[in-house]
A = this chain, B = another copy of it.
Amino acid sequence: MVGLAEKHRVVIVGGGFGGLYAAKELGRAPVEVTLIDKRNFHLFQPLLYQVATGTLSPADISSPLRGILSSNKNTKVLMDEVTDIDPLQKKVKLQSSEVDYDTLIVATGVSHHYFGNEHWKPTAPGLKTVEDALEMRRRIFVAFEAAEKEPDPEKRQSWLTFVIVGGGPTGVELAGAIAELSFNTLKQDFRNIDTREARILLLEGLDRILPPYPPDLSEKAAQSLSELGVTIRTKTLVTNIANHVVTAKQGDQVEEIPAQTILWAAGVKASAMGKVLEQQVGATLDRVGRVVVEPDLSIAHQPDIFVIGDLAVYTHQDGKPLPGVAPVAMQEGQYVARLVCERIKGQSLPPFRYTDTGSMAVIGQNKAVANLGQVKFSGATAWFIWIFAHIYYLIEFDNKLIVMLQWGWNYFTRNRGARLITGEGSLVQVDVDENGNYAVPGSQSPVEV
């Protein structure tokens, strides 16, 4: 290990797509890499909705960071949380220690945004972590169990109403999966209720779902969802969520929707590192706290600090910020890693450019939309492209083969084997709260996996 200390030290904060791809790219470079993450695993977030709806298990879409990087002998993984940085001393401060850097790459991503209504969170959880997904799974399956036991028809309908707020890819995928659960998977399983009476509402503030996609694909997606039994409300704003009633406003019309299960897929805000970078190095933040970056993904006047992935706002390609999707983060991670290597040799790279590999959303069995730039697909073709693209990118995962077989199995049996109700509040018991409303126990308690 002689001479290690003299090597250029790269510290990467965050083991998502951006951080992981930067670390992988640096694996054979003459640098010393430290990857810091709060969790011990990388999560394949685009498939999180499949955990939330009982198709896959958390481990199917997660892979231990140490395992992925174990053959990179220049790389150290630290399971810890960054509390601050010191740009003068070039130190990253952790909960229990500090780490020196020559180059710092920040890739800590984003979390949910309730647009000033953080108190909606316990009733309408979002989907960013494994714990979030298991909490959604618990609520969805508890809702059917509670409906089965509920004698009052009005309350029963409230248990069988699922409101998804936000018509982006996550909202569309959740709505489609819950519709398939209700109308196919579970239809034989209950004796007192008909799960086909479930009402699945997808609310979107803009004039169409999947707003970043071309209008005709949005139209195709809306049609597929309707066929599956999802009710779509566009130009609809959620003005209140209280006592398991969603208040939705479409133009002048206000509707109150009693729903026990409300899922949030509407907005993102920057992780805490954005604020740290603003305070310590004067980084410019956007409206939701993301960091505005230079053409080489560094922070202005801080050539040794880079921000990549969902936390970065990159507008140097066509004026519009790049979307917060996995391929952008991966390409940014690889770019910064290569730039670091060039700089060590005294050279540089031209500005970052994102190569759009297309975007896709799955709606249900055999139903998806895919926008590959020149070509657009919908229906079964898009669905198969989606499956293969996701399996291709699960490349880090031991479980790629297993996940593929699991999907194959689910495809032919239309089954969902992971529909477990687990955790503290897993025994269905309908309590009446102080307002005379009934509530699922544990639903507001801290969630664990």
Contact = CB atoms under 8 A, between A and B. Distances in A.
A38 B426 CA distance: 8
A195 B46 CA distance: 33
Contacts of A399: 406, 409, 417
Interface stretch (A71-79, A158-166, A354-362): A71-79
Contacts of A188: 70-71
Contacts of A397: 417
A7 interface: no
Contact of A449 (B76, B95, B449): B449
Interface in A52-70: 57-60, 62-64, 66-67, 70
Contacts of A406: 399, 402
Interface stretch (A267-275, A344-352, A427-435): A427-435
B420 A41 contact: yes
A442 to B, nearest CB: 8
A144 to B, nearest CB: 9
Contacts of A39: 420-421, 426-427
Interface string A403-429: 001100100010101111111111111
A381 B185 CA distance: 40
A76 B191 contact: yes
This chain: copies in complex: 2
* Range for the number of chain A residues in contact with chain B: 35 or more
A89 interface: no
A232 interface: no
Interface string A255-279: 0000000000000000000000000
Contacts of A141: 40
A80 B422 contact: no
Nearest to A54: B59
Given A57-B58, A188-B70, A79 B145 contact: yes
Nearest to A94: B149
A78 to B, nearest CB: 7
A402 B401 contact: no
Contacts of A422: 58, 130-131, 448-449
A393 interface: no
Q: Determine the main DSSP class of A at the interface with B.
A: loop
Nearest to A399: B417
A134 interface: yes
Interface string A310-351: 000000000000000000000000000000000000000000
A388 interface: no
A96 interface: yes
A279 B130 CA distance: 44
A435 B395 CA distance: 47
B149 A420 contact: no
A57 to B, nearest CB: 4
Contacts of A95: 427, 429
Contact of A145 (B40, B81, B424, B425): B40
A100 interface: no
Contacts of A421: 39-41, 79
A173 B160 CA distance: 43
A117 interface: no
Contacts of A374: none
Contact of A78 (B66, B149, B401): B149
A409 B398 contact: yes
Contacts of A418: 57, 59
Interface string A172-195: 000000000000001011110000
Nearest to A40: B421
Interface in A125-156: 130-131, 134, 141, 145, 148-149
Contacts of A59: 57, 417-418, 420
5 contacts: A59-B420, A79-B145, A79-B421, A80-B428, A95-B427
Interface of A: 38-41, 57-60, 62-64, 66-67, 70-71, 76-81, 95-97, 130-131, 134, 141, 145, 148-149, 186, 188-191, 397-399, 401-402, 405-406, 409, 413, 415, 417-430, 442, 446-449
